[in-house]
Structure 1
Amino acid sequence: MKKKLLVSMLALAGCSAFQASAAPTQLYWGDTHLHTSYSGDAFAMGDETADPDTAYRFARGQPVIHPYNRVRVQLNRPLDFLVVADHAEYMGLMQLVRDKSPLLDKAQNGQKLIRMWDEKGSKAVYYDAAGALVKGKPYEDLLTQAIRQPIWDKIIEAAETNNEPGKFTTFIGWEWSSMPGGANLHRIVFTDQGGEAAKQFLPYSSADSDRPEDFWHWLEKTSGETGADFVAIPHNSNISNGLMFNDVDSNGHPISASYARTRMRWEPVAEVTQIKGDSETHPELSPDDEFADFETFEHVMAFNSEAEAQSDQVSNYARSGLKRGLEIEQNTGANPFKFGMIGSTDSHTGLSTASEPNFWGKFGLDSIPENMDKETTPHADGWSMSAAGMVAVWAEENTRESLFAAFKRKEVYATSGPRMQVRLFGGFDFVSSDADQNDLAATGYTKGVPMGGDLKQAPAGKAPSFLIQAVKDPEGANLDRVQVVKGWLDAEGKSQEKVYNVALSDGREDRGADTQPVGNTVDLKTGYFSNSIGDEELVTVWQDPEFDASQRAFYYLRVLQILTARHTMLDAVALGRPHDKVNFPAVIQERAYSSPIWYTP
């Protein structure tokens, strides 16, 4: 019990037992996917005032004014880093139209939108401009450097002003919002460089091309010209309509080794949980996984269609993407889907809030309970949004250079909101007593590789073992269990998967599907829960009992909390509605996903 108490007390101070003894890396929390009023959809849906500077100040823990309901809001736990990722497409245009900016004087479509604003309002302006883009006929006179550069300069200035190495890190970035036929192929992009390099280019947008191959070519070209490196993050793949982790390229050709290497050069991680649902897996893909149906979001982004996500689900979810990557690597020698896993919000309020009791909605519009019934994205309302997610980074220090390197090596993980501390190391020499070491991280780095790493050919007679530690959010719920998700290629070259319970709280035994549930302490009248069940910390060494040294494989952790109240239950109670009448669960089992460790014979 002493060890648990020590870990909990240190966690409250912003560190953990293994960090206290000069561990090689420290844990930093952030959001790589936040929109401000410079994104057209955010502006049209209730955020006209929370600009990039507001977003950074809020993330740093300063009080700001909420852009929709105008109350003072403040994070009780600031972030360590943030990427403001406004849409490159028509970035800042809504402000220019509202203010009748002289920059639009010579733009015929700019004058048209000003008249439309006066007659029909901001939403009509946004849908008109966005509709032209979706149809492949963007308003070219609104995409000139003269119009775009001043907005981009303001975004750069806000990032540079708020960057404080060692205390708070800002990354200069944007969102490339490719959406062919309503399929979400969006990527968040950020650079390791500051304003001097960023001012040498304008953000690449889907008006330039909606093909990932063209986007990667631009990254390569721009990197060579400016010295800037980039991380591009596929996001929200659950509504990619079968395209994000497809087995063919944009021309319909089978993925080649060249395609795979190029994609992994620029896209080392993928976003697996955010406001528009969870993208780890789907119950149709993982029927034996009792926790697969988590925050499932079925809507595609078709603005003029009632279509639901009805595509090949394999290409929509991270776990099946990881499995498909093994198959492609077997055939081509390169893996296009060897990605780490992160979470972020995709909030369009300028406010990074990912906790259930402090969730401010996707847009300004749905930030108040009375508006939860209103449509926020096509065919979905505020109730269907998820209070998620966050990205955790193991890095040497809180600087652009160190954090960026951690993204590149995939030593990162996702949570659906809570700040659980998760460690994963893999190797061939871990033993059970390693879980009792005071300096667990030092042991892990010495004897193995961290999450995001690679294991090569196993020594004769040895199977990989994994040193695992999960610590509860110091201000949140206890832990239910830790699971290892394994994917591998069988003798026929087909990908398989299995989920192992490797650590269970409250002394429970693993009985597969018959494992005793941890319980439920949520009070459905108040939303309060009790930490009388579950554990503060789960630590173990697990060895793969079904290892075949000849088969490619990956392993990642899924850490589950005990049940807590979902934000929709809290809003229903506040509105005086029966919580079971809002068509969403009253409780949620929050979780974390580590980046995988791969085994390649």
Structure 2
Amino acid sequence: MKKTLLASVIAALAGAASHSVMANPTQVFWGDTHLHTAYSGDAFAMGNESVDPDTAYRFARGLPVIHPYNRTRVQLNRPLDFLVVADHAEYMGLMQLVRDKSSLLDGAENGQNLIKLWDTKGSKSVYYDAAGALVKGAPYQDLLTKAIRQPIWDKIIKAAEENNKPGEFTTFIGWEWSSMPGGANLHRIVFTDKGGEVAEKFLPYSSADSDRPEDFWNWLDQTSSDTGADFVAIPHNSNISNGLMFNDVDSDGHPISASYARTRMRWEPVAEVTQIKGDSETHPSVSPEDPFADFETFEHVMNFGAGDEEAEVDQVSNYARSALKRGLEIDAKVGANPYKFGMAGSTDSHTGLTTASEPNFWGKFGIDSIPENLDMETTPHADGWSMSAAGMVAVWAEQNTREEIFAAFKRKEVYATTGPRMQVRLFGGFDFAAEDASNNDLAGVGYSKGVAMGGDLSNAPEGKAPSFLIQAVKDPDGANLDRVQLVKGWLDAEGKSHEQVFNVALSDEREDRGADTQPVGNTVNLETGHYSNSIGDTELVTVWQDPDFDASQRAFYYLRVMQIPTPRHTMLDAVALGRSQDEVHFPATIQERAYSSPIWYTP
């Protein structure tokens, strides 16, 4: 473990806001690919009637806007570099049409019924009525016509085009396909590399068209062929998929085939592993030997339309690490890996405001943006205290443009964080040496000797094990780093997958003792919410070699970078409300983290 060019890195990072500053072939750009505005029915019904796509883009660019619920002025102190407004395709913009008694609904019987429902019972009743019909498989078809949908889609396209500033700020035209089979969440966030002249040639595919991923991918393929558009589809945070997102069978219950695997990976190169509804990296039940597995665990099953009881689910299919392991197993059987995905994080905010930091978290919905409303149920069985202030996605790209950022997603050179802007590098190869960690051009060495995160290694030279060049730099406006871990998954000779977490770099010159490694400490003052960077390191850099490598075994490797403890947003709200931490029922502190996309080894 060594420190390199630390003073210049931190100073330049602070001065350049969200961009990388090292003399590397690429830069790091920060974004959110999962943001909802008032055009999403649930956002509108839960306190956001005013933040439209244009307002959302302006906020992400750093401009002050008015909060949709509490009407205060809000502003990011560090703008984003790119944003996808991903409103639900299902009934997109319908709530505004009902509120305004739009003439577009004049010929729609269900539209007139919803207007009457609004007048008697209000917006929430309208939303639940229309959404309930959709979940039951009987969507209101007279509200899904092109005449009703096209004007809203045109507004979304226009907002993206007007806010796209190549080299400064990138917008992507997208939406969320909100599949809910049996009440399970199989949503995908979708965006295209193309601009409005192409996007206006199609309407967003919705679960009213089909709730089957296979049909969704077929639509992407056909639309791409017809229009020239390419797409990235990102599986929604999988912890609430009721055991379906990373299953070992397809929608018909058949074992996953090579064709299924290749099709899925064509369209879904990355997965969302952290967001407001918790963290999906792993779970204590599937990683029992990992002491950090129980992180921002969302305890509530999202079972819309499937009754009020929370049922037990297959957690293996709900989490990214176990899915990566399952992918190795399927690859060995059929010759293709359906779960060879990179890691992304995003907010899933429904306020139209992309806020992912603990001290500047504005809730999931408008109504839970103020501390007094945190006890209210916002999603089934969960309240505002249950939500996480997360997440973000970082992209290594040459320029801040649609073309370059989209290409980075396709090659998986991206990583997720739970909010902080840590700079993370991972390179894998067979020729890295310890002295490479001291090189002033670390990325140059990484690209010349190996592959970056998201890449592949194969055919290990005889007698050589893969080594990894690793760098993590703290958020210049945030907490110091506790440790860097490398998570390995591999397949044994019997076709069974395994996992192990290695501490590859520890702060404060601590010794690695596995699960017994000394904690970094905790400086958080529980009375004030302040913390100190008197512990931890500002940068951790190392070269690590796999001590147990078997050249005949499939494997993957990804980084988990952890900060020192800092206050959770609920602790700050409890202090503000004068409530004790015991009343909150959530940890007062949190160890924020980053997850790199993996590097895979195939014999």
TM-score, length of structure 1 as denominator length: 0.99
Local SS of the residue matching 1:376: strand
Q: CA deviation at 1:17?
A: 11
Distance 1:548 1:250, change over 3 A: same
Do 1:323 and 1:495's aligned partners in 2 also have CA atoms closer than 8 Å?
yes
Q: Secondary structure at the match of 2:5?
A: helix
- Shift of the 78–18 alpha-carbon distance from structure 1 to 2, 3 Å rule, reads closer
Task: Please list the CA deviations of residues 384-421 of structure 1 after superposition, one character each: whole Å capped at 9, or x if unmatched.
Answer: 00000000000000000000000000000000000000
Superposed, which structure 2 residues align to 1:103-142 within 5 Å? 103-142=104-143
Structure 2 residue corresponding to 1:564, chosen from 558, 566, 569: 566
| Contact 2:26–2:398, Cα closer than 8 Å, also in 1 | yes
Task: Compare 333-342 and 9-18 and name the one that shifted more.
Answer: 9-18
| Paired residues of 2:205 and 2:216 also in contact (CA < 8 A) | yes
The correspondence for 1:398, drawn from 397, 400, 403, is: 400
Q: What is residue 577 of structure 2 aligned with on the other side?
A: 575
Query: What is the 5 A alignment of 1:182-201?
Result: 182-201=183-202
Is the contact made by 1:478 and 1:561 (CA closer than 8 Å) also made in structure 2?
Answer: yes
2: distance between equivalents of 1:435 and 1:87?
45
The residue number in structure 2 matching 1:322 is 324
Question: What's the CA shift for 1:596?
Answer: 0.0
Q: Secondary structure at the match of 1:20?
A: coil
Deviation at residue 16 of structure 1 after TM alignment: 10
- How many angstroms apart in 2 are the aligned matches of 1:209 and 1:17? 40
Contact 1:434 1:440 in 2 (8 A): yes
Whether 1:274 aligns to 2:243 is: no
Q: Do 1:17 and 1:438's aligned partners in 2 also have CA atoms closer than 8 Å?
A: no
Q: Does 1:24 align with 2:25?
A: yes
Q: What is the aligned length? A: 600
Contact 1:393 1:411 in 2 (8 A): yes
Q: Does structure 1 retain, via aligned residues, the 8 Å contact 2:34–2:349?
A: yes
Deviation of the 1:580 alpha carbon = 1.8
2:312 is matched by which residue type in structure 1? Answer: Q
- Kindly indicate whether the alpha-carbon contact (under 8 Å) linking 2:18 and 2:80 is maintained by their aligned counterparts in 1: no
**By how many angstroms is 1:11 displaced?**
1.5
- Which of 375, 380, 383 is matched with 1:381 structurally? 383
Whole-angstrom distance in 2 between the partners of 1:500 and 1:36? 41
Contact between 1:423 and 1:468, CA under 8 Å: does it hold in 2? Answer: yes
> For residues 315 and 67 of structure 1, do their structure 2 counterparts lie closer, same or farther at Cα, with a shift above 3 Å needed?
same
1:479 aligns with 2:481: yes
**What is the rounded CA distance, in whole Å, between the counterparts of 1:134 and 1:109 in structure 2?**
16
| Structure 1 position 600 matched with structure 2 position 580 | no
Alignment CA distance shift 1:15-1:128 (3 Å): closer
| Equivalent position of 1:500 in the other structure | 502
- Give the equivalent residue in structure 1 for 2:467: 465
Matching of residues 157-176 of structure 1 within 5 Å: 157-176=158-177
- Structure 2 match to 1:245: 246
Residues 427, 466 of structure 1: 8 Å contact kept? yes
Distance 2:438 2:241 in 1: 43
Contact 1:238/1:317 (CA < 8 Å) preserved in 2?
Answer: yes
The alignment's TM-score, normalised by the length of structure 2, stands at 0.98
- SS of residue in 1 equivalent to 2:185: coil
For residue 298 of structure 1, report the CA deviation from its aligned partner. Answer: 2.0
8 Å Cα contact 1:268/1:409 also seen in 2? yes
The offset of 1:4, in angstroms, is 2.4
Cα-to-partner distance string for 1:432-469 (whole Å, 9 max, x where unaligned): 00000001000000000000000011000000000000
Q: 1:301 to 1:432 in 2, by over 3 A?
A: same
Question: Structure 1's 18 and 474: CA in aligned 2 closer, same or farther, altered over 3 A?
Answer: closer
Question: How many angstroms apart in 1 are the aligned matches of 2:312 and 2:284?
Answer: 14
Q: 1:303-341 CA deviation, whole Å, 9 max, x = no partner?
A: 353332511110000000000000000000000000000
User: Residue 20 of structure 1: CA displacement?
Assistant: 3.3
Equivalent residues in 2 for 1:59-78 (5 A)?
A: 59-78=60-79
Contact 1:66 1:73 in 2 (8 A): yes
What secondary structure, in the 3-state scheme, does the structure 2 residue paired with 1:392 have?
strand
Runs of 5+ consecutive residues of structure 1 not aligned to the other structure? none
In structure 2, how many angstroms separate the alpha carbons of the residues matched to 1:141 and 1:187? 25
- Give the aligned partner of residue 346 of structure 1: 348
| C-alpha separation in 1, matches of 2:396 and 2:19 | 15
2:522, 2:418 → 1: CA distance?
A: 19
**Match in the other structure for 1:438:** 440
Aligned mates of 1:376, 1:5 — CA distance in 2? 44
Match of 1:264, SS state, is helix
Q: Deviations over 1:522-572 (max 9, x none)?
A: 000111100000000000000000000000000000000000000000001
Q: What is aligned with 1:209? A: 210
- SS of 2:504's equivalent in the other structure is strand
| CA deviation string 1:334-389 (max 9, x = no partner) | 00000000100000000000000000000000000000000111110000000000
2-structure distance, mates of 1:322, 1:522: 35
Q: Which amino acid aligns with 1:443?
A: V
Residues 20 and 438 of structure 1: CA distance in aligned 2, closer, same or farther (over 3 Å): same
CA distance in structure 1 between the partners assigned to 2:598 and 2:351 by the alignment: 32
In the aligned structure 2, how far is the partner of 1:15 from the partner of 1:452? 25
- 1:25-82 residue CA offsets vs partner (Å, 9 max, x unmatched): 1000000000000000000000000000000000000000000000000000000000
**CA distance in 1 between partners of 2:192 and 2:243 (Å):** 28
CA–CA distance in structure 1, aligned partners of residues 587 and 220 of structure 2: 42
Give me the whole-angstrom Cα distance separating, in 2, the residues matched to 1:543 and 1:19: 27
**Is the 8 Å Cα contact of residues 8 and 16 (structure 1) preserved in structure 2?**
no
Determine if the alignment matches structure 1 residue 331 to structure 2 residue 333: yes
Contact 2:456 2:600 survives alignment (8 Å) = yes
After superposition, the C-alpha distances for 1:184-232 in whole angstroms (9 at most, x for unaligned) are: 1000000000001000000000000000000000000000000000000
Partners of 1:139 and 1:590 in 2: CA distance:
43
Q: Look up the equivalent residue of 2:537 and give its one-letter code.
A: D
Measured in 2, the distance between the counterparts of 1:306 and 1:419 equals 38
What does residue 15 of structure 2 align with?
Answer: 13
Q: Indicate the residue corresponding to 2:294 in structure 1.
A: 293
The answer for the alignment partner of 1:447 in structure 2 is: 449
Q: Secondary structure at the match of 1:76?
A: coil
Distance 1:303 1:143 in 2: 21
Shift of 1:508: 0.2
Which structure 2 segments of 5+ residues have no match? none
Point out the more displaced range, 292-301 or 32-41: 292-301
Corresponding residue number in structure 1 for 2:84 = 83
The separation in 1 between residues aligned to 2:433 and 2:67, in whole angstroms, is 51
**Is the 8 Å Cα contact of residues 574 and 580 (structure 2) preserved in structure 1?**
yes
Aligned to 2:101: 100
Does the Cα contact within 8 Å between 1:298 and 1:308 map onto a contact in 2?
Answer: no
CA contact (8 A) 1:10 1:16 kept: no
**C-alpha distance in 2, partners of 1:49/1:7?**
40
Cα 1:495–1:53, aligned 2, differ >3 Å: closer, same or farther? same
Q: Distance in 2 between matches of 1:212 and 1:158?
A: 28
1:181 Cα shift?
A: 1.3
Alignment of 1:42-61 (within 5 A): 42-61=43-62
Where do 4+ consecutive residues of structure 1 move more than 4 Å? 15-18
Alpha-carbon displacement from aligned partner over 1:227-259 (angstroms, at most 9, x marks no partner): 000000001100101100000000000000000
1:541 match: 543
Does structure 1 conserve the Cα–Cα contact (< 8 Å) formed by 2:18 and 2:81? no
> Could you tell me whether the CA contact under 8 Å between 2:19 and 2:29 is conserved in 1?
no
